[in-house]
């Protein structure tokens, strides 16, 4: 696991994320994502991203008993320095400074901490929505499936339906249908996200 965290931290930004940044240049952007691979964090500041399901870039106490979420960058580098091959000795696994229990990644699990930090993530998102609900807003639903539709898919549909100047673009290989009331405000791509964004960038002369 330590090797995985190090690999994700140093993974180059994927072309799809680069294309998205190019297409949204000079736009007011907020990312509401269940992805935990840190790729969005490499193209946008933390103030423009919220992770309702957690984020590999943070650790928490594995007991879930302490309202303390810790940035992972230094921890990951130290873990990498202590690795023997691709394994980290148990004695070198980081531990909670409060109770001494092992730290665990801050993402969805039975011990996931929905505390102060989590609430701050949600507030960033709600503040952005409140500031833009009467403006032109484009909701980009990228690769959203049916595992947790109540986090992104259904709220996006509701806001597109309720907000007079909101529209939706949905790109996914499947599950791209939208309710009848928002069909005229939606553009659906039943296709690979990478291919669609790459075509759009090339059409704009971005490459």
Distance between CA 193 and CA 157 in Å, rounded?
Answer: 19
Q: CA nearest 177: which of 167, 193, 195, 190?
A: 190
Q: How many CB atoms lie within 10 A of CB 159?
A: 16
Give the range among 7-11, 93-97, 129-133 with minimum mean pLDDT: 7-11
- Supply the pTM of this predicted model: 0.91
Distance between CA 30 and CA 45 in Å, rounded?
Answer: 10
Phi, psi of 28 (to 5 degrees): -80, 115
pLDDT tens digit string along 180-200? 999 999 999 999 999 999 999
> Interhelix angle for 73-82 vs 2-10, to 10°?
120
CA quadruple 186, 192, 196, 202: dihedral, nearest 10: 170
pLDDT tens digit string along 129-175? 999 999 999 999 999 988 889 999 999 999 999 999 999 999 998 87
Contact 48, 26 (CB under 8 A): no
Between β-strands 54-61 and 103-107, what pairing exists: parallel, antiparallel or unpaired?
antiparallel
Residue 91 Cα distances to 7, 79, 133, 160, 204, angstroms: 21, 11, 50, 51, 53
- Provide the residue count of the chain: 207
Per-residue pLDDT at 206 exceeds 70: no
Distance between CA 153 and CA 144 in Å, rounded?
Answer: 7
């Amino acid at each position: 696991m330590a090797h995985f965290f190090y690999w994700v931290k140093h993974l180059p930004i994927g072309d799809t994320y680069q294309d998205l940044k190019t297409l949204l240049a000079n736009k007011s952007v907020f990312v509401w994502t269940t992805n935990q691979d840190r790729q969005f964090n490499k193209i946008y500041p933390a103030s423009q991203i919220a992770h309702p399901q957690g984020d590999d870039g943070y650790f928490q106490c594995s007991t879930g008993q302490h309202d303390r979420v810790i940035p992972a960058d230094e921890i990951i580098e130290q873990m990498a320095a202590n690795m023997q091959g691709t394994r980290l000795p148990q004695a070198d696994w980081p531990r909670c400074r409060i109770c001494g229990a092992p730290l665990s990644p801050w993402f969805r699990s039975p011990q996931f901490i929905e505390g102060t930090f989590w609430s701050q993530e949600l507030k960033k998102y709600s503040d952005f929505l409140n500031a833009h609900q009467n403006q032109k807003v484009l909701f980009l639903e990228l690769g959203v499936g049916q595992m947790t539709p109540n986090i992104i898919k259904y709220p996006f549909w509701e806001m597109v339906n309720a907000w007079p100047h909101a529209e939706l673009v949905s790109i996914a290989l499947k599950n791209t249908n939208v309710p009848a009331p928002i069909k005229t405000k939606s553009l659906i791509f039943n296709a690979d996200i990478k291919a669609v964004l790459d075509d759009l960038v090339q059409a704009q002369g971005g490459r």
